[in-house]
Structure 1
Amino acid sequence: MTGTITGPAQRGPAHLPEPARKVARRVRKASKRFGAHTGLAMLRLRNLLVRSSATGTADVVVSMTTYGERIRTVAVALESIARGEIRPRRIILWLDDPRLMDTEPAALRRLRRRGVEVRLSSNYGPHTKYFPYVSAPELEGYPLVTADDDIIYPANWLRVLYEANLAHPDMIHGHWVSTIGVNNGSITHYEAWGRRRDTRPAFNNFALGVSGVIYPPAMLRELRHRGTLFMDVCPGADDIWLHWVALRAGIPIRQVDRIPRHFPMIPGSQFTPLNELNVDQHRNDHWIRGLYSTADIDVLAAGQEKKTTTANLWDGENDAH
């Protein structure tokens, strides 16, 4: 039996009047745009001038994928990681189109000379950012950090994730976490989920990969065990699949700070029309409805934190999906 989707639960009154909220939103957006354009210029200059290694000694691997026109701007995202306060042992960029290798931009070639790995993969859609790594025979025992190809990450981005993993190695940690809404035994619409405003680990926390997420080795082994089932149940929604696998594995999710973070997007990296993004919102609800069982929803509603209490809740449920 699978779950259903309902509308959002009733919320309390907002703290600010609507005009003030609109002004605050405009100011935040303008500040982000300015920061993004400034960051873009600095990172492109850094890519031209710096010759030091993009990788380092932190026991973690960073994995990313890109496609199509974004090959022109992905070096900016990679360079933002390479200038971090700490640097990972490996940075891997997965491509699913051999033609992109033939038209590799100069900025990406410079990063490859500094240690960034560019590797070919089958096309797993958004799941390409992690699945080729977790399915590789040489899978290492390091945590895996996933990153998006259209974001400028701050210098402390990886350090914060890495330190969170060191402190709580049995959890998944992210910079931006939502809370899955459950109302009357059903999951509320994806777009109505609230943002997490604390660092409490829970199974109803939902990590958004756009801001970066670190996964412990236990999660990587679980993903390898599940294989490519995601291509049948939610091919276009890696965050949903990753949450569901973590839920079934009893691995809680935690936000690294009380404030959810969405970092600046790379100017010129967005080529997806708004109507396609809106369609994806409806598809998320469709995939959630088909994936989460009644037992899953019971765990989400309970907001349980200890994985030792979850195993018996799925007895009798179909775990294959």
Structure 2
Amino acid sequence: MTSWLMNKARRLRQRAVNLRRSATLEWHWLRHGRHYGARRDAGGAADIVVSLTSYPPRFATLHLTLKSLLSQSLAPARVVLWIAHGDLDQLPAAVTALRAAGLEIEACDDTKSYKKMIPLLQRGQGARHAIVTADDDVYYWRDWLRQLDETRTPGKLEVVCHRMHRMRLDAAGLPVPYNDWEFESPNRDSTRLNFPTGIGGTLYPAGVFGPEVLDVDAFTRLCPRGDDIWFWWWARARGATFRRAHAGHEIYCWDGSQEVALWLDNVGARYNDEQIQAMIAAYGFTNERSAV
């Protein structure tokens, strides 16, 4: 088969998947999502806040991700969308209309991808609630949040995620290059070397961060494109371990949403390595070769 035919077949398969996902989402939305506020008030997860951010290149499919979050089988206490002040008036009606179902839309300073959690932490939300971060371009299946919730151990400082890498260390006990880590690790251990990737969603328990995480100048200078690195670093500094959710699931991004994506730069241009090295130079790195 020629490359042209292969590409065409791939596009057709992708379109078919997109149609199936959209149909499933609309069904869940009509039955559950539009009633999110009532389901939350009737007995949802009172200690969990779902938080995400977005920006204009992703606005076209943002409402789809938001509908999937509002349709979760376990309704969180809040679903909060953070938008930079300068982008707020560009939100499409398909997004703003979701306020009627209980979505909260908040304006904040433009700290790029850090907007998904920093504004909540600045308001003290992280001391009282678990914060679950989500990406703005993903279809989150109906039990996505319930699976994160059921994996966590109450009272334990443990970060739970749906997708993670396993950090590998060299003979000196320092991280090897990011592209040499164990990607999408299947292990179920709770360790300080597991590294959550934001795309699958990550649950950060209440109290997992100290005041250092709010240093805007530091993360802008040391880790401008690596919010996953920054949040992992400071949760780890508090003694947290990291675990993958018990249930696995395919992660699906909306068709066309990946034309602008941080990971394309972070991995391809090795920005992750630069940012990790900058963090080590600034804060040091505990030898974890024998850690569990």
TM-score, length-scaled by structure 2: 0.82
Structure 1 residue identity aligned to 2:285: D
Closer, same or farther in 2 for the Cα pair 1:151/1:286, shift >3 Å?
same
Deviations 1:199-255 (A, max 9, x none): 111111100011000001121445656555211210110111111112211111111
Q: Provide the rounded CA distance (Å) in 1 between the counterparts of 2:158 and 2:11.
A: 32
Q: 1:234-249 alignment to 2 at 5 Å?
A: 234-249=223-238
**2:190 pairs with 1:196:** no
Show the counterpart of 1:85: 73
**2:20 pairs with 1:38:** yes
Range moving further from structure 2, 227-236 or 178-187:
227-236
Range moving further from structure 2, 192-201 or 230-239:
192-201
Q: Provide the rounded CA distance (Å) in 2 between the counterparts of 1:275 and 1:215.
A: 21
Closer, same or farther in 2 for the Cα pair 1:262/1:233, shift >3 Å?
farther
Closer, same or farther in 2 for the Cα pair 1:242/1:97, shift >3 Å?
same
Contact residue 181 and residue 187 of structure 1 kept, 8 A? yes
Range moving further from structure 2, 243-252 or 163-172:
163-172
Q: 1:259-298 alignment to 2 at 5 Å?
A: 261-272=249-260, 277=265, 281-292=269-280, 296-298=285-287
Q: Provide the rounded CA distance (Å) in 1 between the counterparts of 2:212 and 2:101.
A: 30
Contact residue 211 and residue 262 of structure 1 kept, 8 A? no
Structure 1 residue identity aligned to 2:196: A
Q: CA deviation at 1:35?
A: 3.3
Structure 2 residue identity aligned to 1:52: H
Structure 2 residue identity aligned to 1:38: R
Over the matched positions of the two proteins, sequence identity in percent amounts to 26
Structure 2 residue identity aligned to 1:177: M
Deviations 1:91-120 (A, max 9, x none): 00000143x332332221221111101111
Q: Provide the rounded CA distance (Å) in 2 between the counterparts of 1:33 and 1:221.
A: 44
| Greater relative CO (CA pairs within 8 A, separation 6+) | 1
Gaps of 5+ in 1: 1-26, 306-321
Structure 1 residue identity aligned to 2:133: T
* Residues paired across the two proteins, number: 275
Give the match's secondary structure for 1:182.
coil
Name which of 222, 239, 243 aligns with 1:250.
239
Q: Provide the rounded CA distance (Å) in 1 between the counterparts of 2:262 and 2:214.
A: 35
Show the counterpart of 2:175: 187
Name which of 200, 204, 210 aligns with 1:215.
204
Name which of 89, 109, 112 aligns with 1:125.
112
Give the match's secondary structure for 1:298.
coil
Alpha carbon RMSD of aligned pairs, Å? 3.0
Contact residue 196 and residue 228 of structure 2 kept, 8 A? yes
Gaps of 5+ in 2: 1-8
Closer, same or farther in 2 for the Cα pair 1:140/1:170, shift >3 Å?
closer
Show the counterpart of 2:4: none
Q: CA deviation at 1:62?
A: 0.2
Contact residue 147 and residue 209 of structure 1 kept, 8 A? yes
Name which of 15, 35, 41 aligns with 1:52.
35
Contact residue 51 and residue 116 of structure 2 kept, 8 A? yes
Q: CA deviation at 1:197?
A: 2.0
Closer, same or farther in 2 for the Cα pair 1:120/1:273, shift >3 Å?
closer
Closer, same or farther in 2 for the Cα pair 1:104/1:257, shift >3 Å?
same
Q: 1:158-169 alignment to 2 at 5 Å?
A: 158-167=145-154, 169=156
Contact residue 160 and residue 243 of structure 2 kept, 8 A? yes
Closer, same or farther in 2 for the Cα pair 1:257/1:218, shift >3 Å?
same
Show the counterpart of 1:19: none
Q: Provide the rounded CA distance (Å) in 1 between the counterparts of 2:24 and 2:190.
A: 36
Name which of 203, 206, 211 aligns with 2:195.
206
Q: Provide the rounded CA distance (Å) in 2 between the counterparts of 1:89 and 1:224.
A: 23
Q: CA deviation at 1:42?
A: 4.0
Show the counterpart of 1:151: 138
Q: CA deviation at 1:287?
A: 0.8
